[in-house]
Amino acid sequence: MDLSRFPRRRYTSYATPLEPLPRLSAALAATCPGGQGPELWVKRDDLLGLFPGGNKTRKLEFLMADALAQGADTVITCGAPQSNHCRITLSAAVKEGLQCRFVIEERVPGSFAEDASGNHFLFRLMGVEALTVVPAGSHMAAAMQAVADELAAQGRRAYIVPGGGSNALGGLGYVACAQELQQQCFEQGLHFDTLVVGSGSSGTHGGLVAGFLGNHIPMPIIGIGVSRDPADQEPLVWKEAQAVCDLMGLGVQVPREAVHTVGGYWQPKYSLPNARMVEAVQMAARFEGLLLDPVYTGKAMAGLIGLAREGTLKAGSRVLFLHTGGLPSLHVNEAALLGQVAVAP
């Protein structure tokens, strides 16, 4: 798969590390049937550029290149009040000398606060130009277009980045990740039996599916839903994967069986803490010094732990967890993560 024909800004000058997690593997094994579990590794996409890193950085390399090619002076995107995607988009805009505006969807009523910490603090620190807050269920594309129209009336030129950077162009970032991972495995003599990733707006998961298909990587991908169960999530991932393949001109149909997600770990609602997420975040922090976030990677790791305990991830298999970032969100959920307040089961 040749990505060289697509304009790209480079925000990371290195391949993100592959690291073994021996102490977490041992702690997990002690809770698995027979005292045996999978061998866990992590790919550290939380160490990507546009501090403090995360999966959106890969997508923005292609999206920001397109924005600049179109002569944009402002980028507009959307997300929840603590959106990692919004924060990294703003970081990219600052780096490129562009203005940035957000449409914030208050998915949990009362969750937006002007003086919030975490990512919202970083929004203000890095100088977001304006925020438009809309209620849950709003038509986000229409809301962003309204902001773009307002700017156009002022003689400005806006570029709309979809939520999560999840479209075919953004998905190329995870085709690039698939190629990077394939090269690392070759150079380091590694083989993984399964890749586990959080599955949300679908760009990361769908881009990986397309990248694995196009680069003939036979490793199964399991997406842990962070906002939807499989009946709703898998069609979104499949559509994204197919769009990326079509953009690349591969001329292939993405097999339905290439898209596999697991539900049940995200409830009671997107971004709200639950006990399995708290356990996963604590285990990663206390056994490996690996910091996960409560919205995405914490719930994805909770899914991995659950799949190991039920035997879906086999004892002795080598499992790679994709760490997609999200560090600032830890600070919004400190009491829950330290066990100081009750959370959903």
Amino acid present at 11: Y
Q: Which two tokens stand for residue 131?
A: 């925020």
Q: How far apart are CA 317 and CA 319, in angstroms?
A: 6
- Structure-token match 């990248």, residue found: 211
Pairing relationship of beta strands 18-20 and 39-44 according to DSSP bridges = antiparallel
Is residue 83 part of the annotated active site? The answer reads: yes
Examine domains 18-54+167-337 and 56-165 and report if their fold is the same.
yes
Q: Report the pLDDT value the prediction gives residue 298, as an integer from 0 to 100.
A: 98
- Bridge partners (DSSP) listed for residue 76: 101, 160
Q: How far apart are CA 136 and CA 150, in angstroms?
A: 22
Q: Where do the DSSP E strands lie in the chain?
A: 18-20, 39-44, 74-79, 99-106, 130-135, 158-160, 194-199, 221-225, 261-262, 318-323
Q: Which two tokens stand for residue 249?
A: 């001109």
Q: How far apart are CA 193 and CA 218, in angstroms?
A: 9
Domain boundaries, the chain: 18-54+167-337, 56-165
Q: Report the pLDDT value the prediction gives residue 220, as an integer from 0 to 100.
A: 98
Q: How far is CA 90 from CA 16, 63, 80, 128, 296, in A?
A: 22, 13, 14, 7, 20
195, 184 Cβ separation under 8 angstroms: no
Residues of the chain with pLDDT under 50: none
Q: DSSP string spanning 57-110? A: HHHHHHHHHHHHHTT-SEEEEEE-TT-HHHHHHHHHHHHHT-EEEEEEEESSTT
Architecture of domain 56-165: 3-Layer(aba) Sandwich (3.40)
Pairing relationship of beta strands 18-20 and 261-262 according to DSSP bridges = unpaired
Domain covering 18-54+167-337 in this structure, CATH number: 3.40.50.1100
**Of 4, 13, 83, 111, which one is the catalytic site residue?**
83
